[in-house]
Chain A
């Protein structure tokens, strides 16, 4: 079922190569070239990440040294930190915006947007995305939504502060908290634009993967990166519209007095007119997106890790088909587990049982993936570049974080740990840190492809990895114990309960690790920016990879390949493949690129 690149696209490439004069604006700003758009996504995502992580440092300092006065608080938070002491409302706002930015702006747009754009056309052998124009619109909508989100930080009454899940009635009633006024409106506007951006992007990825694969590139020859991006896009298209409807209904409850999510409310001395709505309905709608969302975040990271790990191990990824099957299984199951966020929301306990069942099922394909990665390392010839280290690190944090999911997914056990720091520890490891590692692995690995052959400094990469690896465990491992002690999340300080007094030691330890780890990210920023301009140029295929992107010239051209698009003759994991005599297929070279025809007597992996 391999699709053929129509002759038309070839002509198109020649056109662009020679006739059009590109201006600064069409080349760098309103570019329709997927490679440029990918860089735009990456840089916007990194800037948002900087803001999100900086926020987490502020509230981590408040948690470790509650009520303490810090000059930085006053400097950054202004009126929200009188005399340098953080205010309780702004604490919640910081947590909310931190969560929103990290999940949506950094790890959805920044990760999936960057690498889907960069790799889909390059790895399937296409001149560009199916629609360069929609692709450009998608980026600019993302940009606008980022700007709106950042603007919301500056409104008079403060930004949204109802948690990243913005459960009504808290998020619906401006009198319930200051952040539920203008700040919440902007949050909703920003997310609406974000969803539009994400849908345009996803549709484009799906169409491109289905229609523009080069000759010979059957679905079962696709690199796992593409499978992951493809399935991610499908889940996005299925679930984001549901969040949009939740957001619109919430907007109507807020602005037009409807009662979708509200009923029987008495606040600030008066009864409100709302009747018959239910906050639980909102929770269903939110988590119908919310849970698939965590897979939207982690699947691209899994794809990247699979690819980088095979290249780094000089071995095929173990169990290629099982990997695809598990991506599909995870994608399917991810749409029917949302209720595990709602075991004690007041919904019927029988539903809780069903969701426990589906949730623990999803552990199985996740486990298969972890085992397959570990086996991929076995008897490899591991080239420990920074990208490879982050890939191994990702498997480690994914396992550590994933295992505690067994506790949280069990409705019984969730009763006592729901909404405590145990949950915060769990999702940071399994989703936050793991996906960030995937992002870093991708950046180190494909930097030469993005920046015309320049490479990032490897030693700075090593330092970045090791500090981050130690620091991440240092922050989030002890955090489980805070949760097991019963500390609820979204608490401005824990001083109101003497039973939490003795936890202040752990809090300080975690904050110190957070500060160090965040500082280590500056090494990455430095390395990234410096390498863009002064990075050493490596060979065309620096990691000796088999996939098509490394057959394009280092210098970016519109249409990707100067001549015809290469044809594909084999799957993409022919690393260290040998003939009957134990010699490499291509003498002296431990890999066979996808565009090299099968040699005499050689069998393809997929028969």
Chain B
């Protein structure tokens, strides 16, 4: 069989008003060359700047950065058919699930389509409304299922909850999903590499991480270096690092390195290595100067 493209699928789940649209908006502006197709309930709410829109046809909007938004219009199957019949296929699909959707059911599309792979279910939890939602007479079971299905939990609007509430919420979520990272999100502002690339399909479980307010993100270009060296450096930083991605060169050729879900993996890269390197970590991660020092050395620190 010849090479077939496999598109990673990210599902953003969460109740009405939990901030899914803000997050999606933010992700689309950081696509950095990735052609993301976003399947959304409503264009209007996305609030895309008119100057960013390159074209609009029926239920599709093409953005100047190559991303596409298409409206689901209550028919997910039809939307998947439309998106998966496009050529070329997108680099990544993000679905903004409806507030009552069961994300694990949406993920089912990936399990019957050779060209789809579940990258991750990201569930948003509204810090101020958690108690209301988890006691809603009609929706509480649905709410619990969304949290249960998550590969990444994002607490939205942390600024609207007091410190004690926030801490309780974090503890509650951590107890319920001990293997899933929990992060806080304000106005959808999150680094895209934290949200995409979860590789959920590989059933990765990662140690429990509660991420406090704020992230450290460091992006740079690195000279060629052996993958073993890079891995060793990352292993040392592991307690503070959440995600890493590198496209580098060594004696064996170009390679891609991922640190996701607590696991480091490498695979050969087709084409030229860009030297691109991204590191996302907790506030306790060493600062940029220190990181420069670590990663520009040729020996493991």
Tell me, yes or no, whether A binds B. Answer: no
A residues near B, CB below 8 A? Answer: none
